[in-house]
Amino acid sequence: MKSLDEHRIPGFLANGIHTGIKPDGAKDLALIFSTRPATAAGVFTTNAFKAAPVLIDMERIRSGVAQAVIANSGVANAATGAEGLSDALSVSRRTSMELGIADEMVLVASTGVIGHRLPLEKITGGVKALVAGLHDGGIPDAEAAIMTTDRFPKIATRKRVIGKKEVTLCGIAKGAGMIQPNMATMLAFIMTDAAISRDLLDQVFRQSVAGSFNAVSVDGCMSTNDTAVILANGIAGNDPPRRGSRSLAAFRELLAELLSELARGLVRDGEGATKVIEIMVTGARTLRDAQRVAYAIANSNLVKTAFFGGDPNWGRIISAAGSVGIDLPVDRVCLFLEDMSLFAEGRGIGGREKELAAIMKQPEIRVRLELGMGRTAWTVCSSDLTVDYVKINAHYHT
């Protein structure tokens, strides 16, 4: 268990409170604030039905500067028309007034049920207390306030010397269901005291998202509210990395580690999930082919239920791989569960049922499918499909 000190980022304050959106008294309104304007970049859902806060943030992030993020849970403010946009802007204005900053410096986010307008009076009525309670140890409170069906918080912190100065990164995320790339359905807010130009921050953030949040799947469903934002306030005082420099490579590596930890947490917390399944497709001709095969396996309900039941049903895995329309060389395809070969030369390999049964009981299981067509690989983290997933989503709206 990390101490609060490990989640403190120089120049960042945060808070999370209950305003009455959630009926159980849980925190439902979060705020992250940089004490000075920060360089900003973001990645958002590609869903055609983008939520009101996503539309606002996509416009504001173009400036490359932001200072605050306010997010509510419990109501998505998606598919709410012009009124939804007006509501999100009202939240932004009230927040900017309380913080004493320009309205355009505030980013907004929402998560919860689609099709409902924000309970505006509850949210705006809580902003004053939210701002008054900002403190440098408030990141765990902010994380708690963005959770919906999450079973546990997702917070990650990294420190490293970059450009002769120690820089710190901290990220929080929420997400358990509707997890599928472009980008994965979740909220994620990353804070760092590093100094870095907007163009390079945007570049390394997108690269890191591609290999983390966009390389996981719980149920193959994309939301309307996906938002991942990074703020860099420069308080560390490091020399801003230059393109192609070792400092930039070090920052990219640190950021990728952080996002990968958060992304793995999303999968581990998949609604009702009991297992994390790492699916690596190797030997593909192209990256697109590797991704298509990996996601076909990751999103197969038959594969996912087999893992839930502890059944090493390799037939379901190769069937999913063969369904995507790629002319696979069947005799060269090899399938491994951990390091155990299950399929090669066009046929299954039996005789190790006890070892396989032990592997299937592990909380994290590695699957590798070698296609024998090239040298390109892609890895996706997925989860099993359980009875609890059906129960949670059968009753989520009501």
Residue bearing tokens 């420099």: 245
Q: Of 27, 251, 279, nearest to 143 (Cα)? A: 27
CA distance 122 to 105: 22
Cα separation of 296 and 117, whole Å? 35
CA-CA distance, 155 to 255, in Å (whole number)?
13
DSSP codes, 206-221:
HHHHHTTGGGEESSS-
Q: What are 341's two structure tokens?
A: 């070969």
185 is known as an active-site residue: yes
Q: How distant is the alpha carbon of residue 183 from its chain centre?
A: 8
DSSP state of 269: T
Short-list 392, 339, 340, 384, CA closest to 363 = 384
d(CA 88, CA 123): 10
Nearest to 378 by CA among 303, 252, 255, 289: 289
Per the structure block, which two tokens stand in for 237? Answer: 């005082």
Residue type, 127: V
Q: By three-state DSSP, how is residue 280 classified?
A: strand
- Of these residues, 185, 192, 227, 282, which one is catalytic? 185
| Contact residues for 327 (Cβ-Cβ < 8 A; gap 6+) | none
Q: In this structure, are residues 148 and 178 in contact, taking their beta carbons and an 8 Å threshold?
A: no
Closest of 27, 41, 24, 31 to residue 205, by C-alpha: 41
CA 281 to chain centre: 21
Question: Which residue from 31, 156, 177, 191 is spatially nearest to 113, judged by alpha carbons?
Answer: 177
Which residues are the active-site residues? 185
